[in-house]
Amino acid sequence: MTDRSFQQANDQSRERLARLVATLTPTQLMLDLGEGWTVASALAHVGFWDRWQEVRWTEMLAGTWSADDDSVIDAEHVANEALHPYWGGIDAEDIPTLALDAATRLDALIASAPDAIVDSLEGGPSAFLAHRHRHRDQHIDHIERSLAAADAARAAAKPLDRSIVDRNAESRRRMAALVGRLTAADYALPTAPTEEGSWTVGQVLGHLAFWDRSCEARWNDAVERAGSDGPLEPIGVSGDTLVAINPPIAAMVGAWTGLLGTAIGAEALGAAEAIDGLLESLVDRIPGDLAEERPAWVNRWMHREEHLGLVEAALRR
């Protein structure tokens, strides 16, 4: 009598895959599994091989391919190595759905196979064609262990010091008081020279507005990629890039100062309010380690205080 108990194991592995796929966030799909693998590329790998075996089963059932073709079986490691870089480059959001669809189609095809074909596979080198659960479960195990480890690391992470909300708000109030008393002529006053040269008051406020808006945009992008519960990982800007960006921004703001007038101050204050409000809404999700490693991401007051000091000094001269 044909032993088809593997079908239940296939069903269970497919249902397990479905549960995993239903919970993955975009950030989790990009989780590093080691050796160049991510959750997404592992699922792409699983989906590809289920698709591959579906084609084999279709050929077997049509009588146009034999499962004892050793040359095909022996060369599978070559396909793995060749395709790995492409799996990593596929649009991650589509991969889970494709993997589950591949498993569903393949399992239905295997379940329809006649006993004679199943018997010819069982116990031989091609038994994996029927026992698809073995390959799936191997990778699902790896993914679930990695996700659990990442969750544990986040749970153990030091919480963010909530005082940053108050310090950001205080720097924003300082900016509001300063902007409220600036005259049109004040915006043209030069500030003390820094490593990036001497700016006007208007250029300093434009600089603050630009970087608060940039920070807001990158935090919003991080939230979108992380989903409702994934880790927040904003895109950083290197020191070399800052050196390249700041002078052109200052020159641009300086060229428009005469036209914008006091609108520069209003824009700087609006940008500060936007990023501070966003950070306050995320304070329970931002890990404390991030604030220590990249303080400018959350401590917006640090950047403002330095530049507001330059403006206040210019007004006193």
pLDDT band at 213 (very low <50, low <70, confident <90, very high): very high
Which residue among 94, 125, 156 closes a domain? 156
The torsion defined by the Cα of 110, 112, 118 and 124, in degrees rounded to 10, comes to: -10
Q: What is the mean pLDDT of residues 301-316?
A: 93
pLDDT (0 to 100) of residue 229:
67
**Which residues does residue 159 pair with via DSSP β-bridges, in sequence order?**
287
Q: Which residues, 6+ apart, have CB-to-CB distance to 222 below 8 Å?
A: 232, 233, 234, 235
pLDDT (0 to 100) of residue 154:
74
- Structural domain contains residue 1: no
Q: What is the CATH number of the domain that holds 297?
A: 1.20.120
Q: Are residues 232 and 95 in the same domain?
A: no
pLDDT (0 to 100) of residue 276:
96
Q: What is the CATH number of the domain that holds 37?
A: 1.20.120.450
pLDDT (0 to 100) of residue 94:
87
Q: What is the mean pLDDT of residues 23-43?
A: 88
CA–CA distance from 234 to each of 2, 220, 286 (Å)?
A: 55, 8, 10
pLDDT (0 to 100) of residue 71:
61
Describe the chain by its helix, strand, coil percentages, rounded to 5: 75, 5, 20
Q: Which residues, 6+ apart, have CB-to-CB distance to 177 below 8 Å?
A: none
Q: Please say whether the beta carbons of 182 and 262 come within 8 A.
A: yes
pLDDT (0 to 100) of residue 260:
66
**Nearest CA among 47, 67, 51, 63 for reference residue 109:** 51
Which residue among 113, 132, 156 closes a domain? 156
Q: What is the mean pLDDT of residues 20-31?
A: 87
**Which residues does residue 217 pair with via DSSP β-bridges, in sequence order?**
none
Which residue among 105, 136, 156 closes a domain? 156
Query: 26-30, 90-94, 226-230: which range is least confident on average?
Result: 226-230
Q: Are residues 140 and 167 in the same domain?
A: no
Burial class (CB in 10 A: 0-12, 13-18, 19+), 112: exposed
pLDDT band at 135 (very low <50, low <70, confident <90, very high): very high
Q: Please say whether the beta carbons of 116 and 64 come within 8 A.
A: no
Mean pLDDT (the chain) is 87
pLDDT (0 to 100) of residue 15:
97
Q: What is the mean pLDDT of residues 54-63?
A: 89
Q: Are residues 178 and 208 in the same domain?
A: yes
Q: What is the pLDDT of residues 262-279, one digit of tens each?
A: 788 999 999 999 999 999
Q: Is 292 helix (H, G, I), strand (E, B) or coil?
A: helix
pLDDT band at 159 (very low <50, low <70, confident <90, very high): confident
Query: 160-174, 199-213, 256-270: which range is least confident on average?
Result: 256-270
CA 307 to chain centre: 32
pLDDT band at 72 (very low <50, low <70, confident <90, very high): low
pLDDT (0 to 100) of residue 306:
92
Cβ neighbours of 58 (radius 10 Å) = 14
Q: What is the pLDDT of residues 223-266, one digit of tens each?
A: 888 777 667 778 877 777 877 888 887 787 777 766 666 788 99
pLDDT (0 to 100) of residue 75:
64
Q: Are residues 140 and 168 in the same domain?
A: no
Domain residue limits at 264: 163-316
Give the count of domains, the chain: 2
Q: What is the mean pLDDT of residues 29-42?
A: 89
